[in-house]
Amino acid sequence: MADRKPLISGNWKMNCNHFEAIQLVQKLSYGLTKDDIEAVDVSIHPPFTDLRSVQTVLEADKIPIALGAQNCHWEAKGAFTGEISPTMLQKLSVSYVICGHSERRQHFGETNEDVNRKVKAILKHEMTPIMAVGETLEQREAGEMEDHIVTQVLEGLVGVKKATVGELVVAYEPIWAIGTGATATPDDAQEVCALIRSTIGEKFGADAAGSIRIQYGGSVKPGTAPELMAQADIDGALIGGASLVPEDFAHCIQYRLR
Ligand code: 13P
């Protein structure tokens, strides 16, 4: 089994102007020790308009937190009004790009095919996709969860080379647990993360399955992070609300101490 370094990511969603973003990063960095950041990879995903400011602070203060984005287009440039390309993100030293977040699928009609195009574009520009998947409560109650998750995973990864799949991150975010305070139980989260890993194993081989990092997301808080992170197939967390509170996000990163 590959040694998978945990990845804790803060998805700020549509919060913080660039002044607030600078303050949030600085406060977060005060709450973290060198040991915290050596044991765990950390990424933060501010809105596009904050990226340059946050990049400057991270670099100037030598804060070892990776910069991430919440979305991108699949084309490198062109007539796509309002979109941001992977080339632009790469130039800002962005390392991780979330794609296929349920809010993008739900409110902006993103399909598995769109997500797949984004995954390939992000990889092509030497950044790491965090591909988000997850079921609605209706799908879970109707017994459709497994099929839905397997389809999202496989259709999102069409055409990605076996040797590359292990470098990706998949985030399992049950839609019913996002922003609701209803975290999946550690057992439920583990079950789906194990399903994602075995799906990857069957399609892309044991090496890919052993290396790929799988995050859980959905109302993760300092109190719930340790037990979730203790699960065999959970290698990290994708955190919304709690990532906007520097103390809470730092405490999630320090889950080993709690
Ligand atoms: P919350 O942590 O606010 O539930 O958000 C989860 C999420 O959607 C992260 O991408």
Report if pTM > 0.75. yes
Ligand 1, pocket residues at CB < 6 Å: 11, 101, 173, 178-179, 217-220, 238-242
Best of 7, 45, 238, 244 for a ligand 1 pocket test (most atoms within 8 Å of beta carbon): 238
Lowest mean per-residue pLDDT among 2-6, 53-57, 142-146: 2-6
- Is 1 a domain residue? no
Confirm whether 17 is domain-assigned.
yes
* Cα gap 21→233, rounded to integer Å: 32
pLDDT digits (tens, 9 = 90+) for 13-44: 999 999 999 999 999 999 999 889 889 999 99
What is the position in ligand 1's atom list of the atom closest to the CA of 221?
A: 2
Catalytic residues: 101, 173
Closest to 233 in 3D by CA, of 165, 171, 153: 171
Question: Which mutation among 219, 245, 251 tests ligand 1's pocket best, with the greatest number of atoms within 8 A of CB?
Answer: 219
Structural domains in the chain (count):
1
134 belongs to a structural domain: yes
Residue with the smallest CA separation from ligand 1 atom 5 is 240
- The percentage of the chain sitting over the pLDDT mark of 90, rounded to a whole number, equals 93
Q: Are 174 and 140 in contact (CB under 8 A)?
A: yes
Question: Which ligand 1 atom sits nearest the alpha carbon of residue 217?
Answer: 6
- Residue 229: inside a domain: yes
pLDDT at position 137 over 50: yes
For residue 251, tell me if it sits in a domain.
yes
- How are beta strands 66-69 and 41-45 bridged, if at all? parallel
Q: Is residue 2 situated within a structural domain?
A: no
Domain contains 26: yes
pLDDT at position 3 is: 84
CA–CA gap between residue 240 and residue 77 (Å, rounded) = 29
Residue 112 lies in a domain: yes
CATH code for the domain in which residue 186 is found: 3.20.20.70
Long-range Cβ pairs for the range 125-128 (8 Å, 24+): 125/76, 125/86, 125/87, 125/89, 125/90, 126/90, 127/86, 127/89, 127/90, 127/94, 127/95, 127/96, 127/97, 128/95, 128/96, 128/97, 128/167, 128/168, 128/169
Please give the residue range of the domain that contains residue 47.
7-257
Q: Over 80: is that where the pLDDT of 2 sits?
A: no
Dist. CA 78 → ligand 1 center (Å) = 31
Q: pLDDT-derived band of residue 126, with 50, 70 and 90 as boundaries? A: very high
